[in-house]
């Protein structure tokens, strides 16, 4: 009965031998996103009280710089150990480092800057690991069916985490919240080990392939991306997505600031709190509805090409309208729809793009894409907004810049759709599977 309800709600079919893995992956993402939203609330007061906005901006730059070192290191680890072993160890390493912050804080050591940098890397790296694992476990056909359900776990986890931390802040201080988050995250580490063990049980031949995975490619994530036009398009799409979205957030902030400028200090603070509380509530609700009701249906009926174009086309049209009519009501609706579609549809199809790639790409290139190139997009937006503020650009000019970037994004998305279809066709040749036919061959065919 429950399975029928889930399949009907999502419009997706789960095969009997996929059910446990889908449930465990969705639960894992649910817990990880709950942990992130708890830690996200801790992050802001720590860094703002220690160093203010200037330290916050410096911490964002430090994240990208540190990832330039960590991504190649991750690639070298994958050359020496099986990928699934590395995923579990990476998560365990984050668990230990998470527990270090309460200890340092209780000893009187300032941790605001380090915690901000760490959390930015934690959030994107852990999610990249879990989605790499999901791409490794499912074939292209199976992933297109079940990834929307897996992603829904993360969406619901974010909603629960935000509500949970709002309730718990009445009784727990920031470092106690970190300890609570560590306890929850320890379950994620155990779940990840269980997922890997279950995959080996469902397809015993995957053990040997997993052990031999280091021979798939000796290249690091950056090298794989630069040598493969398809992977390069994925990285470019991620940069453009974050550039458009983050710049749009700045446009929203500028219009809201202008709208509230005539109010008194207390009324202005109340207006801003109410506006952003309502904004985030609508984004959360619409994201959940779109993830559950539309994502799988769009991918199944319209196909990957249309799904990849949906959010870029929405951004292009939305910011074009905003450039003509820079009103608060319009930007509010645009950003609610854009963020919701980005967090649900765009995020899910972005994970699906790695289904028809080699195993090395699913771990190394995906890790580089989901960490460094995400932050690179944020840095590009920061540079653009810095120039805009220095030059005195208004919201209309920034909206027009976003129109131009979104137009480039539409082109990249169209090329990605063609690349996905070509890669998927090449990898659909008959290959021997284990007992569970949904499991992807652990070592992909050589290119």
Residues 6+ apart with CB under 8 A from 86: 74, 77, 78, 363
Range name among 52-66, 117-131, 206-220, 419-433 with the lowest pLDDT average = 206-220
Which among 175, 79, 42, 192 has a CA at the least distance from the CA of 129?
Answer: 192
Range name among 67-81, 115-129, 148-162, 322-336 with the lowest pLDDT average = 67-81
Fold of 221-428: Growth Hormone; Chain: A; (1.20.1250)
Assess whether pLDDT exceeds 80 at residue 101.
yes
How far apart are the C-alpha atoms of 296 and 349, rounded to whole Å? 10
Q: What angle do CA 403, 409, 412 make, to 5 degrees?
A: 150
Q: What is the pLDDT of residues 406-417, one digit of tens each?
A: 999 999 999 999
Q: With beta carbons less than 8 A apart as the criterion, state whether 222 and 71 touch.
A: yes
Q: What is the pLDDT of residues 372-406, one digit of tens each?
A: 898 888 888 878 888 887 888 888 898 999 999 99
Q: What's the pLDDT score for residue 212?
A: 41
Do 1-215 and 221-428 have matching folds?
Answer: yes
Q: With beta carbons less than 8 A apart as the criterion, state whether 55 and 113 touch.
A: yes
How far apart are the C-alpha atoms of 93 and 25, rounded to whole Å? 20
How far apart are the C-alpha atoms of 44 and 53, rounded to whole Å? 10
Q: What's the pLDDT score for residue 209?
A: 41
β-sheet bridge partners, residue 138: 439
How far apart are the C-alpha atoms of 201 and 199, rounded to whole Å? 5
Which among 74, 357, 75, 93 has a CA at the least distance from the CA of 233?
Answer: 357
Residues 6+ apart with CB under 8 A from 383: none
Residues 6+ apart with CB under 8 A from 446: none
Query: Measured between alpha carbons, how far apart are the two ends of the chain, in Å?
Result: 43
Q: Give domain limits for the chain.
A: 1-215, 221-428
How far apart are the C-alpha atoms of 337 and 327, rounded to whole Å? 16
By CB neighbour count within 10 A (0-12 exposed, 13-18 middle, 19+ buried), where does 407 fall? Answer: middle
For residue 216, report the phi and psi dihedrals to the nearest 5 degrees.
Answer: -65, -45
Q: With beta carbons less than 8 A apart as the criterion, state whether 272 and 430 touch.
A: no
- Please identify which residue in the block is written with the tokens 């090395």: 360
Which among 214, 203, 188 has a CA at the least distance from the CA of 84?
Answer: 214
Mean pLDDT of the chain: 81
Q: With beta carbons less than 8 A apart as the criterion, state whether 401 and 292 touch.
A: no
For residue 446, report the phi and psi dihedrals to the nearest 5 degrees.
Answer: -65, 145
How far apart are the C-alpha atoms of 348 and 147, rounded to whole Å? 7
Q: What's the pLDDT score for residue 442?
A: 34
Q: Give the chain's length.
A: 447
Q: With beta carbons less than 8 A apart as the criterion, state whether 10 and 149 touch.
A: yes
Top-level class of domain 1-215: mainly alpha
Q: What is the pLDDT of residues 252-271, one digit of tens each?
A: 878 887 877 777 666 776 77
* Model pTM score: 0.79
Assess whether pLDDT exceeds 50 at residue 347.
yes
Three-state SS at 439: strand
How far apart are the C-alpha atoms of 287 and 343, rounded to whole Å? 6
- Please identify which residue in the block is written with the tokens 């306890």: 183
């Amino acid at each position: 009965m429950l399975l029928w309800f889930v399949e009907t709600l999502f419009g997706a079919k789960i095969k009997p031998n996929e059910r446990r893995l889908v449930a465990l992956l969705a639960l894992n993402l649910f817990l990880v996103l709950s942990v992130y939203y708890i830690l996200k609330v801790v992050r802001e007061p720590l860094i703002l009280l220690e160093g203010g906005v200037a330290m916050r901006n410096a911490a964002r730059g430090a994240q990208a710089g540190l990832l330039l070192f960590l991504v190649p290191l991750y690639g070298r680890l994958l050359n020496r150990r099986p990928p699934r072993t590395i995923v579990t160890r990476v998560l365990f390493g984050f668990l230990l480092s998470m527990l270090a912050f309460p200890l340092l804080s209780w000893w009187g050591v300032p941790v605001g800057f380090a915690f901000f940098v760490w959390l930015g890397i934690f959030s994107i790296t852990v999610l990249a690991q879990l989605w790499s694992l999901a791409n490794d476990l499912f074939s292209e056909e199976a992933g297109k069916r079940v990834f929307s359900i897996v992603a829904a776990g993360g969406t619901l986890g974010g909603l629960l985490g935000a509500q949970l931390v709002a309730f718990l802040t009445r009784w727990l201080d920031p470092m106690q919240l970190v300890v609570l988050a560590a306890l929850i995250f320890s379950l994620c580490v155990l779940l990840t080990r269980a997922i890997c063990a279950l995959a080996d049980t469902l397809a015993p031949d995957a053990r040997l392939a997993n052990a031999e995975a280091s021979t798939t490619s000796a290249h690091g994530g950056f090298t794989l991306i630069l040598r493969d036009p398809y992977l390069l398009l994925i990285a470019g799409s991620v940069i453009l997505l974050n550039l458009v979205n983050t710049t749009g957030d700045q446009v929203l902030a500028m219009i809201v600031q202008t709208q509230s400028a005539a109010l008194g200090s207390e009324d202005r603070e109340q207006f801003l709190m109410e506006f952003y509380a309502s904004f985030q509530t609508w984004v959360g609700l619409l994201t959940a509805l779109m993830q559950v009701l539309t994502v799988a249906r769009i991918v199944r009926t319209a196909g990957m090409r249309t799904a990849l174009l949906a959010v870029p086309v929405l951004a292009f049209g939305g910011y074009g309208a905003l450039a003509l009519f820079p009103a608060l009501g319009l930007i509010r609706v645009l950003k609610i729809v854009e963020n919701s579609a980005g967090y649900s549809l765009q995020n899910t199809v972005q994970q699906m793009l790695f289904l028809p790639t080699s195993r090395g790409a699913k771990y190394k290139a995906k890790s580089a894409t989901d960490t460094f190139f995400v932050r690179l997009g944020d840095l590009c937006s920061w540079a653009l907004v810095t120039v805009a503020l220095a030059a005195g650009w208004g919201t209309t000019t920034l909206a027009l810049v976003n129109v131009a970037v979104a137009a480039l994004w539409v082109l990249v998305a169209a090329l990605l759709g063609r690349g996905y279809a070509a890669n998927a066709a090449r990898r659909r040749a008959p290959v021997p599977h284990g007992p569970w036919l949904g499991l992807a061959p652990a070592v992909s065919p050589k290119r």
